[in-house]
Amino acid sequence: MMRQCSKIFLLLLLSSGVFATEFAPGEVVQRFCASCHARGIAGAPRSGDVSDWSARLAQHSFDEIAERGWQGSRRMPPKGYCQRCSYDDFVAALEEMLPQQLLP
Ligand code: HEC
């Protein structure tokens, strides 16, 4: 009986999406990143802006930039305030903000 219960509980937990990403495409950028990255608040590289992002990519690889953003640096808050974001959610948001031609 006990085993049965914990199995059902596990199934409920899995199907509730606790372990999966909770965000629709574009949602993280809209809800968390755009407030700073849309217009370059506090020196944030602007969404879709080739010169802002290529200046950074000239000095660091895509992975390094993703990692630095995740950790937070100077005026960039850790995870961009998206506490519920997994690292994959964060990287997906970064990919949406990068101009197409700069994607790795
Ligand atoms: C409160 C404002 C703010 C929010 C919200 C924010 N950022 Fe930033 N972000 C910045 C600023 C300012 C910088 C530039 C920091 C610097 O040069 O030290 C930055 C830099 C970055 C960088 C480059 C890091 C580097 O070292 O080159 C990445 C990647 C990044 N942000 C991703 C994101 C993502 C993804 C989100 C949303 C999940 C987000 N940011 C939300 C302000 C913000």
Q: Which atom of ligand 1 is nearest to the CA of 41?
A: 12
CB atoms within 10 A of CB 24: 8
Region 22-102: CATH code: 1.10.760.10
Domain borders along the chain are: 22-102
pLDDT grade for 12, boundaries at 50, 70 and 90: low
Q: What is the pLDDT of residues 37-62, one digit of tens each?
A: 999 999 999 999 999 999 999 999 99
What average pLDDT does range 14-24 have in this prediction?
64
| Residue 14 in this model has a pLDDT that exceeds 80 | no
Q: Is residue 31 lining ligand 1, measured as CB closer than 6 Å?
A: no
Q: What is the pLDDT of residues 87-97, one digit of tens each?
A: 999 999 999 99
Site to substitute for ligand 1 among 76, 87, 91, 94, most atoms within 8 A of C-beta: 76
Q: Which atom of ligand 1 is nearest to the CA of 80?
A: 41
The token pair at 37 is 């990255």
Give the residue ranges of DSSP H helices in 2-75.
2-15, 27-28, 34-37, 50-57, 62-71
Q: Is residue 3 lining ligand 1, measured as CB closer than 6 Å?
A: no
In the prediction, which pLDDT does 25 show? Answer: 86
What residues does 73 pair with on adjacent strands? Answer: 76
Q: What is the pLDDT of residues 56-87, one digit of tens each?
A: 999 999 999 999 999 998 899 999 999 999 99
**DSSP 8-class letter at 7:** H
Rounded alpha-carbon distances, angstroms, from residue 34 to 39, 61, 70, 81: 8, 22, 16, 11
